[in-house]
Amino acid sequence: MPKRVLVLCTGNSCRSQMAERLFPLLSDGLWEGVSAGSNPSGYVHPKAIEVMAELGVDLSDGKSEHVDQYSDQAFDLVVTVCDNAAESCPVFPGDTPVAHWPFEDPADATGSEDEILHCFRDIRDQIANRIKAFLSSGE
């Protein structure tokens, strides 16, 4: 049975969505990912979907969900990917470890289409590298 990680951010439209799908991919299925937001946007950002598709990951079925729906579930790890989520992170049952891995919000990127996509790719890759470091640490 895979370990479970809950990835939290504010809107649950970009960073947490990408991390949710990267955890099982990079762990060869040893981790199951879910994500939620403290103030969900109600959608997954199209550019997050686009840059994940570049890795062969289909994020088009992602859902922006509220963290409250997971408050009674057990997780092996909770990861916050923005400062707002870290500040409003609920308490989960047991001794669930909480890690704070802040990343810039690619939804705030400005510039040309290429510059914005570059920002989304950069954040995706930063998240992937952080997950790889976590997995290789044996935690």
Q: Give me 73's structure tokens.
A: 């579930």
14 belongs to the catalytic site: no
Rounded CA separation 103/57 (Å): 20
DSSP at 138: T
Residue 89 CA from chain centroid, whole number? 14
Catalytic residue (one of 6, 7, 8, 9): 9
Catalytic residue (one of 5, 51, 82, 123): 82
119 belongs to the catalytic site: no
Rounded CA separation 77/30 (Å): 13
Catalytic residue (one of 25, 55, 57, 89): 89
User: Which residues neighbour 117 within 8 Å (Cβ) at sequence distance 6 or greater?
Assistant: 47, 50, 51
Q: Give me 91's structure tokens.
A: 């308490």
Among left, alpha and beta (phi > 0; psi -120 to 50; other), residue 75 is beta
User: Which residues neighbour 122 within 8 Å (Cβ) at sequence distance 6 or greater?
Assistant: 106
Active-site positions read 9, 82, 89
